[in-house]
Amino acid sequence: MHSRSATPEPDLERARDLAAAGGPGKRDYVRAAFDQIAPSYDRLNHLLSLNIDRRWRRQAIAELNWEREPTATYLDLCAGTMDVAATLAGTEGFTGRVVASDFSEAMLRAGAGKAPPGRVTPVVADALGLPIADGSVAGAIVAFGARNLAMLDAGLGEAHRVVAARGRFVVLELTTPRSPIARAAYHAYFHHVLPFVGGAISGHRTAYGYLPRSVAHFPSGEELAERMKRAGFSSVRWRSLTLGIAAIHVGTRA
């Protein structure tokens, strides 16, 4: 992981911009950044989203249709501090298990203790090469992690590989609003307020500047739906949340 003094500012900013655009070094930049911001990640997430992120996660979990198999194993992909895994594991009626996978061990450690004991299994693994057998999870969900994948199509394909037949794959991700008024407010906040506050609290100079840049390079709702279909998912649908700031995509493995 880069220390604050190890990498000159212009070089770190260049690495950030290349990573956001999906260029070389994205995997290394993203993991190093999340390792460093892990201690303040939850606090900043809730602060900077005005707690709306909690509602978005609950809506995404509802799309997982876990009630069909409440005792089964589900995958929280790019789990971070395991907010989704802990929420699902603590949901009334759910008696299954959640595998929380992320390639940043620091993020998983930061989320330790959130879930009921024995209900969530954290696994340090890259989403592009999961140590999970084919078709062995009843469903999978990724919240705010799809745009961090070094190769999105490979990640979608890996999710399709591990999900069982009739299981759902849910993607919750930030998007760019289409309304000119909402988009102007979004850009002002995401490109100025968020990087300043995030950098000041987390201590990482570029991580919260990476966020709006990575969203700008992420596929549109329609394109992501098409790429999920190409990965093998069927009945793919999606909807926008909160003036188009986020979106939920849902696909089923036939």
Q: How far is CA 190 from CA 27, 122, 182, 213, 238, in A?
A: 22, 30, 12, 9, 23
**Rounded Cα–Cα distance for residues 137 and 159 (Å):** 10
pLDDT for residue 5: 38
**b/e map of 115-154 (b: 16 or more CB within 10 Å)?**
beeebbebbebbbeebebeeebbbbbbbbbbbbbbbebee
Angle, helices 207-217/26-48, rounded to nearest 10 degrees: 100
Whether residue 169 is predicted with pLDDT greater than 50 in this model: the reply is yes
Q: Mean per-residue pLDDT for 165-192?
A: 94
Residue 249: strand pairing partners: 171, 238
Distance between CA atoms of 205 and 15, rounded to whole angstroms? Answer: 12
pLDDT digits over 199-228, tens only?
898 888 798 999 999 999 999 999 999 999
Give the model confidence (pLDDT) of 113-168 as tens digits: 999 899 999 999 999 999 999 999 999 999 999 999 999 999 999 999 999 999 99
What are the extents of the domains in the chain? 9-48+176-216, 52-175+218-253
Which is nearest to 108 in space by CA: 218, 31, 209, 211?
31
- Asked if pLDDT for residue 8 goes beyond 60, the answer is no
9: confidence class by pLDDT, cuts 50, 70, 90? low
Q: Please list the helix, strand and coil fractions of the chain in percent, rounded to the nearest 5, in that order.
A: 50, 20, 30
User: What is the reported pLDDT for 47?
Assistant: 86
Q: How far apart are CA 248 and CA 213, in angstroms?
A: 20
Average pLDDT over residues 64-71: 98
Task: Read off the pLDDT of each residue in 69-84 and give the average, rounded to a whole number.
Answer: 98
The one-letter amino acid at 169: F
pLDDT score of 1 more than 60 = no
pLDDT of residue 144: 96
Distance from CA of residue 79 to its chain's centroid? 7
Q: What is the CATH number of domain 52-175+218-253?
A: 3.40.50.150
3-state DSSP assignment of residue 64: coil
